[in-house]
A and B are shown apart, each in its own frame.
Chain A
């Protein structure tokens, strides 16, 4: 079945460091891929998405490229800020049915 495997955390970085959070997927067909962010005590917010191979999603300095050949959708940011501290979830939207598959989440803490 469809699934998402996400890099385990927690991840701790200094401000202005480069961030990569790995995400790989298994799917039949052509899913859509998403990154969601969850700040403490809040719901999930869509950070970025890509709906087909080679699409690049970007938002707030974060980027991720849908790579079919490596079945990956890694999240990157060139220079993290303290305000980026949150939990990041990679997710897959199956193209059959109304199913979403979440990764286990990666907790990021950015220290000044």
Chain B
């Protein structure tokens, strides 16, 4: 089955220690998204790629970076995690942005910062 895969499902890192979360997709979608979701809240978009075109949300902290080396993979790098960065991180894809194109979500990576 075509899908969105996130690894690892659970990640523990230390305060200030860089961490990378990964996402891969077999859907061949050209748009990939990273969301941050804190407990009992809606997902908050951090950034997205339309093919190789990177789009950063205005309020995404500089501490968060992303890489998309090819269509299938996208990475979220947190350069110096703080306690406030503990959250579920969701990767999503869509065939195209906008009208009618739903987003397909991975299972998420739950990040704990100690």
Contact = CB atoms under 8 A, between A and B. Distances in A.
B104 interface: yes
Interface in A84-112: 89, 93-100, 102-105, 107
Contacts of A34: 102
B105 A93 contact: no
Interface string B78-114: 0000000000001010101111111111111010000
A42 B99 contact: no
Given A44-B43, A105-B40, A105-B41, A98 B102 contact: no
Interface in B30-66: 31, 33, 40-43, 45, 48, 50, 55
B105 A98 contact: no
Looking at chain A's contact residues, the main secondary structure is loop
Chain B interface size range: 20 to 34
A45 interface: yes
17 contacts: A32-B99, A32-B101, A36-B105, A41-B110, A43-B105, A43-B106, A43-B107, A44-B90, A45-B105, A46-B104, A89-B42, A95-B98, A97-B98, A98-B98, A100-B33, A102-B43, A104-B41
Interface of A: 30-32, 34, 36, 41-46, 49, 51, 89, 93-100, 102-105, 107
Given A32-B100, A44-B90, A98-B98, 18 more contacts: A34-B102, A36-B105, A43-B4, A43-B90, A43-B105, A43-B106, A46-B102, A46-B104, A49-B102, A51-B99, A89-B43, A95-B99, A98-B31, A98-B33, A98-B50, A98-B97, A103-B42, A105-B41
